Structure 1
Amino acid sequence: MLIRWGRLQPTIWAVITLLATVTAADAAGDAAAKPSEFILLAQIALLIAVGRGLGELMQRIGQPSVIGELLAGLLLGPSLFGWLWPSAHSVVFPPSGEQKALIDGIAQFGILLLLLLTGMDTDLKLVRKVGRAAATISVAGIAVPFVCGFTLGEFLPDSLLPHPEARLIASLFLGTALSISSVKIVAVVVREMNFMRRNVGQIIVASAIIDDTIGWIIIAVIFSLASRGTLDVVSVAQALFGTLVFLAVSFTIGRRLVFRLIRWANDNLVSSAAVITVILLLMSVMAMITHLIGVHTVLGAFIAGVLVGESPILTRQIDERLRGLISSLFMPVFFGLAGLAADLTVLRDPQLLLLTAALILIASIGKFGGAFVGGALGGLTRPESYALASGMNARGSTEVIIATIGLSMGVLSQTMFSMIVTMAILTTMAMPPMLRSALARLPLGKDEKERLEREEVEQRGFVANLERLLLAVDESNNAKFAAHVVGLLAGGRGLPITVLHVGANAKLQEKNRADEESPEAAVINAAEASARASAEADGGRDDNVDVISRAREETAAEAIAEEARKGFDLLVVGIDAVAGPDGGFDRRIDELTSGFDGPLAIAAAKGVHEREPTANARKILVPVSGSNVSRRGAEVAIALARLSAEPLQVVYVSTTRDKGARRSSPSMSLAPEEAILKDIAATAARYDINVATRLRASTAPEVAILQEITASRADLVVVGVDRIQGDSLNFGSVAAAVLGKSKASVLLVSDGDVRPKT
């Protein structure tokens, strides 16, 4: 009984809210006679309360929350509330144009925000990853239902068209509406079934993304046609040309500009909501640009969302705040109003009911059949094609947005709008159980299993989760070496690098005055060159390299502490003096790192890197012991070894602390030492990096590492170290010994946790 009460609570509260709103609105007297702020607030409160309440109820029974928000509008509109209690409905939702314009303005802005959110969920990397199969599926999945929808539009009775003389535009619009899928609904179900990383799951989501993108472009062009009223070849060409130019500029100059604006807001503005403000401004400006070139504003908002979603420094906190605002306010208001605009009482007419059933049947057969055929042409098996077709048939929120645009453009009549909303609700509710059933029957192949295991390991990795790198340098050769290391780490994934110049001592400043190139520029150039080389080695684009230089008026330690609050994942320090007189670190390194609590890397250029700081290390050595910190060092070494000429040297060393360390490798049936080496070798093999392994378990770790440096003739040794709690920076005796006695360059990589001194 308690469970039933818990599930009914949202509905009961919605009914109480409705009655309270009607009573208060009625008590307002003449509020319905003129535009009223009270009525507006009452409408928003009612739509949020009922929409979110029913959305919660839908989620509890395995349906998307948007269905509850649509049903809230249907229940509050002429389909139920207005039919059962017309006088109360006219009080809460007065028919006057002035009052409707108030909440319609919020809904119109809500459309742009929903398209912004849709764009942010659009993963272009996923599309590129499975592009060929997804493109084939999308072409068939769009073409077949488009032809069905266009044909249906040509045979619709004139009574269902607001402008029968413009039937061509209505047919084009209906064809587009029937061919599109809801990325959001599809992605939610695929993710819920843990299929997002499966081959078929990626193809389903990528196909939905392509469908959405093409659909919004077509809608934008149709809007241009509708605004002119006739099919003019010149106007169509202008709309298409303007759209193509807009897309080209957006994904070249626009992408860089969006990244820099978000980065500038994050780094320079004090307010916590500054980045959200910039995102909303970007969305508004791009929406206005598409309006000026003669296409719909939704295209600008959608592309803005795509660019914002690709920003490398869009923090989780900012993303969640923006989504929270849209989900809690604008979604229930917009979809509630869409439900209010639909009048399902018209379906009491048997002819209209049959037409609605035909619309749903044609839409489902067209989309299901087109996607199924596309899956077969794209190389999918029959079960995979069935799963794909099941997922692509959901129209969801996307269909409602399109229908609302069509209604506002005058392409759809009120009755046709109600029919399309009904189709969107029924196809969306049918999709989750169909897709869950189809996905549950798909077996896991050997190759796919190996890929999933590899990706799961990478997701837990340190390097794979880096997003922003902070480089603190002076004007020394060691600074250039540190910049070279950072560039290699960042280039493959296009990570942004912030270079913070912390000054140099007087001797270095005097030496550098004779140089033709400024020391600051030399460091930046070193980082950029290495990042481009790394990107090319990974088969990526070298134009994704993003390095900026910052000079602060505060002291170096204060500047780093200030930067640390902006969300950096790794601080790399490269200054002239590394080791101190007492065997620890130089006093300046202590000062620089005192305000940074995250992972650190201290670079010390020796040997070949003293003479040529940006030279690629010919041989890289990494000691491992089975601990998390040694694993982190191995990941960094693997990332740096992509441009190395020789195999990566991995040596096992034992430490007292690492004995009994928890090991999760599947190869632990071997001797622990051999299993650890095999695990690192397997990780390196995923990146096509050869590995040479050695066991030195019976020797003191610092001695073993130094002996192996000499024996292997390594140019660089990467050591994963613990950060020990104390008054000064301390990585332990092993790190101090290697740093002081190694003839090869040293990179010490620590985690962000401070271990108590033992």
Structure 2
Amino acid sequence: MFSLAGADLVRFLFAVAALLAAAHVLGYIAERLAIPRVIGEVSAGLLLGPTVLGMWFPNAFHALFLGFSSEGSLFGFLSQLGLMLLMFHSGLKFQARFEASDLRIGAAIIAASTVLPFLAGWLLTMVWDPAPFLGPANQLTALKIVIAISIAVTSIPVISKIFADLGILHSRFAKVIVAVAVVHDILLWVALAVASSLVSSHGQVDAGVLLKSLGVTFGFLAACTVALPWMLRRVTSRRVNVLFRASFLGYFLLILLLISDIAGYLKVDVMYGALLAGVATKLTLPERLRERVEASTRDLSFSLFIPLYFAVVGLQLDLAHQFSVGFFLLYVLFATATQTLVVYGTCRAIRCDRLTSLNLAAAMNARGGPGIVLSTVAYSLGIINQNFFAILVMLALVTSWMAGSWLRWVIRRGERLMPGDEHLVIQRATPEPTDWVPGLETGQR
């Protein structure tokens, strides 16, 4: 009943191994080429999926990934588990407090880069008919919300990884952007949760349905950021809390599963619940223990589940047959220009200099992981079709590449990212594993 036939298990494990190996190798190559790792991981799915392998060797593709009836479902489960861990990890980075000197900049960017690009995306749907990109749910209002979010969304994991690769994660600029991105994306996830609720309503969208969706979504947000941390602080360290005493990490993973499940039952969205579970954990624990949870989940998640998630995203893309290059280029131009103009104009209005304003605008354009999550959730809910799913994924990848390239160019020129970073000392990431292998030390590779 709960078993998998021996031949099917062997086939599935081989497919997982092939996909994981490709994700890590291409992710490593991408980093060596100064490209965000996520681009390499998605490229692994493109290489082994219908875009390349499926087009040239369709029998090999089907034998590898569709060899038995439940293989697709197994990959779907691994992918969703990776996505949950990614959202939980992103929630752990939640930062509601700014330094006093950065509060004005952060608040202005959050307000402008959330509201104005979202409105621009919504207005776009009034002059352009998005109906050809409707998914099987046939929910036009939800599709418009997804389009609006795609214009405004910013990547927390990718922009943090870019900063770490550049050695500037400790800079004032990086701290402002990461804090802004976390608050910014939580607000946009509220909008996606509303879209999810509209799909689950299965009926005509009216003011009552919309208000109910907003009420449930904001109520769940308040419960997870206020009531849940208050409760956890009082029960977590009690001697009678056998679960916490039995397993420190297992306890918080249980919270992740329960909050995600409650979000699903409320018809908000499971991944929104995973994000808020991370936020609640961050607000519950002192910094030392929060770092312990983050480190414990990061090692396994970013080695196995999260690379598989991004690779499976690539597996679902068929760029050879279901991708409109012309429309994609126009969409990238509109999304990038909108976010750039809004953030640059806002920063100039609060008296930031031109270069600082450009740097902040470039960083806020990196859509990366959250952009891919948006497309994945919208596609799984039936809000968008395969063609628009591919466009949103490629938008996330291209804008992340652009943001990283701009910031790298500024640093190489010796320019400061923003006031306060004039004498910034570059602090590179920790040495790679090969640096500790005899015979592979620096200069001998």
Structure-2-length-normalised TM-score: 0.84
Residue 148 (structure 2) pairs with residue 178 (structure 1): no
The answer for the alignment partner of 1:491 in structure 2 is none
The answer for the alignment partner of 2:360 in structure 1 is 388
Change (3 A) 1:336 1:169: same
The answer for the alignment partner of 1:324 in structure 2 is 299
**How far apart are the structure 2 equivalents of 1:166 and 1:250?**
28
* 1:245 paired residue among 215, 219, 232: 219
Query: How is 1:522-671 mapped onto 2 (pairs within 5 angstroms)?
Result: none
**How far apart are the structure 2 equivalents of 1:420 and 1:444?**
30
**How far apart are the structure 2 equivalents of 1:171 and 1:392?**
21
SS at match of 1:346: coil
Residue 307 (structure 2) pairs with residue 335 (structure 1): no
The answer for the alignment partner of 1:3 in structure 2 is none
Change (3 A) 1:389 1:294: same
Residue 38 (structure 2) pairs with residue 66 (structure 1): yes
Identity %: 25
Opposite residue 179 of structure 1, the aligned amino acid is A
Residue 61 (structure 2) pairs with residue 89 (structure 1): yes
**How far apart are the structure 2 equivalents of 1:266 and 1:54?**
47
The answer for the alignment partner of 1:365 in structure 2 is 337
The answer for the alignment partner of 1:234 in structure 2 is 208
The answer for the alignment partner of 2:22 in structure 1 is 50
Change (3 A) 1:127 1:102: farther
Change (3 A) 1:91 1:151: farther
Residue 214 (structure 2) pairs with residue 258 (structure 1): no
Displacement of 1:291: 2.1
Contact kept, 8 Å, 1:138 with 1:371, in 2: the verdict is no
SS at match of 2:198: helix
The answer for the alignment partner of 1:437 in structure 2 is 409
**How far apart are the structure 1 equivalents of 2:345 and 2:71?**
48
The CA deviation string for residues 426-462 of structure 1, in whole angstroms up to 9 with x for no partner, is 11112112022345422775x7779x99xxxxxxxxx
Opposite residue 251 of structure 1, the aligned amino acid is T
Change (3 A) 1:53 1:138: same
* 2:379 paired residue among 389, 395, 407: 407
Change (3 A) 1:99 1:164: closer
Displacement of 1:266: 12
Query: How is 1:467-546 mapped onto 2 (pairs within 5 angstroms)?
Result: none
Displacement of 1:255: 1.0
Change (3 A) 1:97 1:193: same
Contact kept, 8 Å, 1:148 with 1:363, in 2: the verdict is no
The answer for the alignment partner of 2:272 in structure 1 is 299
The CA deviation string for residues 562-620 of structure 1, in whole angstroms up to 9 with x for no partner, is xxxxxxxxxxxxxxxxxxxxxxxxxxxxxxxxxxxxxxxxxxxxxxxxxxxxxxxxxxx
SS at match of 1:390: helix
* 2:388 paired residue among 409, 413, 416: 416
The answer for the alignment partner of 1:344 in structure 2 is 319
**How far apart are the structure 2 equivalents of 1:261 and 1:102?**
36
Displacement of 1:254: 1.2
**How far apart are the structure 2 equivalents of 1:153 and 1:345?**
26
**Comparing 396-405 with 202-211, which one deviates more in the overlay?**
202-211
Opposite residue 192 of structure 2, the aligned amino acid is I
Opposite residue 248 of structure 1, the aligned amino acid is A
**How far apart are the structure 2 equivalents of 1:127 and 1:293?**
36
The answer for the alignment partner of 2:132 in structure 1 is 159
Query: How is 1:113-192 mapped onto 2 (pairs within 5 angstroms)?
Result: 113-126=85-98, 130-154=102-126, 155-156=128-129, 158-162=131-135, 166-192=139-165
Displacement of 1:207: 2.1
Contact kept, 8 Å, 1:181 with 1:394, in 2: the verdict is yes
The answer for the alignment partner of 1:653 in structure 2 is none
The answer for the alignment partner of 1:287 in structure 2 is 260
The answer for the alignment partner of 2:52 in structure 1 is 80
Contact kept, 8 Å, 2:262 with 2:273, in 1: the verdict is yes
Displacement of 1:363: 1.3
Displacement of 1:223: 0.5
Contact kept, 8 Å, 1:265 with 1:275, in 2: the verdict is no
Displacement of 1:379: 3.5
Change (3 A) 1:172 1:379: same
**How far apart are the structure 1 equivalents of 2:290 and 2:174?**
26
**How far apart are the structure 2 equivalents of 1:321 and 1:265?**
23
**Comparing 163-172 with 203-212, which one deviates more in the overlay?**
163-172
Displacement of 1:195: 3.9
The CA deviation string for residues 229-276 of structure 1, in whole angstroms up to 9 with x for no partner, is 4323222222222222222232333113334555459997798x8111
Change (3 A) 1:61 1:377: same
**How far apart are the structure 2 equivalents of 1:270 and 1:175?**
41
Change (3 A) 1:51 1:87: same
**How far apart are the structure 1 equivalents of 2:176 and 2:96?**
12
Contact kept, 8 Å, 1:367 with 1:389, in 2: the verdict is yes
**How far apart are the structure 1 equivalents of 2:224 and 2:344?**
33
**How far apart are the structure 2 equivalents of 1:319 and 1:204?**
20
**How far apart are the structure 2 equivalents of 1:262 and 1:88?**
50
Opposite residue 242 of structure 1, the aligned amino acid is V
**How far apart are the structure 1 equivalents of 2:308 and 2:43?**
12
**How far apart are the structure 1 equivalents of 2:99 and 2:65?**
43
Query: How is 1:450-465 mapped onto 2 (pairs within 5 angstroms)?
Result: none
Contact kept, 8 Å, 2:89 with 2:294, in 1: the verdict is no
The CA deviation string for residues 46-90 of structure 1, in whole angstroms up to 9 with x for no partner, is 221110111111122222221111110111111101111000001
Opposite residue 398 of structure 1, the aligned amino acid is P
Change (3 A) 1:252 1:172: closer
The answer for the alignment partner of 2:436 in structure 1 is none
**How far apart are the structure 2 equivalents of 1:89 and 1:417?**
21
Change (3 A) 1:192 1:69: closer
Opposite residue 114 of structure 1, the aligned amino acid is L
Structure with higher helix content:
2
**How far apart are the structure 2 equivalents of 1:267 and 1:295?**
29
Contact kept, 8 Å, 1:180 with 1:215, in 2: the verdict is yes
The CA deviation string for residues 19-59 of structure 1, in whole angstroms up to 9 with x for no partner, is xxxxxxxxxx996xxxx333332232122111011111112
Contact kept, 8 Å, 1:220 with 1:298, in 2: the verdict is no
SS at match of 1:314: helix
Structure with higher strand content:
1
The CA deviation string for residues 647-702 of structure 1, in whole angstroms up to 9 with x for no partner, is xxxxxxxxxxxxxxxxxxxxxxxxxxxxxxxxxxxxxxxxxxxxxxxxxxxxxxxx
Identify unmatched segments of 5+ residues in structure 1. Answer: 1-28, 454-758
Q: Which has the higher contact order (CA 8 A, sep 6+)?
A: 2
Contact kept, 8 Å, 2:133 with 2:385, in 1: the verdict is yes
Change (3 A) 1:79 1:443: closer
Contact kept, 8 Å, 1:145 with 1:370, in 2: the verdict is yes
Contact kept, 8 Å, 1:148 with 1:362, in 2: the verdict is no
Identify unmatched segments of 5+ residues in structure 2. Answer: 426-445
The answer for the alignment partner of 1:274 in structure 2 is 247
Displacement of 1:347: 6.2
Contact kept, 8 Å, 1:259 with 1:308, in 2: the verdict is no
